Structure 1
Amino acid sequence: MPVRKAIVTAEIGLHARPAAVFVRAVTATGLPVTISKDGRPGVDARSLLEVMTEDFGCGCEVELAVAADSLPAFCSLAEAETALEELRILLESAAAV
């Protein structure tokens, strides 16, 4: 299962605009990405409501994942790894979100 850890750097965490930017980026990948923290079950990172209600605050370490058995036919494991890395970079770039 492709996994990346990231630190949320947006000052207000993943709320409002930063969450919307992140969710759009996840949706654009076409992958069923989950986001979680503190060992809790992940939520669908394509859902603005789910991302905003999880309280991913500034400085929070999150885990981005795609279950290998959930990969769409069009996507290889390497492509999923690349997509998660790009999402990690987005979360850690406060200027981008």
Structure 2
Amino acid sequence: MFERRVTVASKVGLHARPAALVAKAAAAQPVKITIRKDDTDPVEAGSILGLMTLGAGHGDEVVLAAEGEGAEAALDHLAQLVASDLDHN
């Protein structure tokens, strides 16, 4: 299993537009990606509802995880998105 720790950059956190963009990108990956905060159970990164119930706000650190062929590249892609300000893109 591969993991990436990343800080949420969007001012609204992983809600609304940023959640939709991250979920769409995660669902398009060849592996299942989960996301969690240190004190929560992981949720599927490809689920908008899962991302919104995670409650990840601006500046929170989250952990992305995946395994299988292509997992590292998929995590790199998602980590870059989460670390970007998606509020205006």
Normalised to the residue count of structure 2, the TM-score between the two structures is 0.90
Give the greater-gyration-radius structure (CA): 1
Percent identity reads: 41
The C-alpha deviation readout for 1:42-83, integer Å capped at 9, x for no partner, is: 0111111111011110000000001x3xx3xxxx2xx21011
Normalized per residue, the structure richer in helix is 1
Q: Aligned partners of 2:21 and 2:30: how far apart in 1?
A: 15
Matching residue's letter, 2:20: A
Task: Identify the residue that residue 76 of structure 2 maps to in structure 1.
Answer: 85
Measured in 2, the distance between the counterparts of 1:49 and 1:93 equals 20
> How high is the TM-score relative to the length of structure 1?
0.83
1:36 pairs with 2:27: no
Kindly report structure 1 stretches of 4+ aligned residues shifted beyond 6 Å: none
In angstroms, what is the RMSD of aligned CA positions?
1.5
Residue 54 of structure 1 is matched in structure 2 by 54
Deviation at 1:32, TM superposition (A): 1.0
1:39 Cα offset (Å): 3.9
- Structure 2: where are the runs of 5+ without partners? none
Unaligned runs of 5+ in 1: none
In 1, Cα distance between the equivalents of 2:16 and 2:82?
14
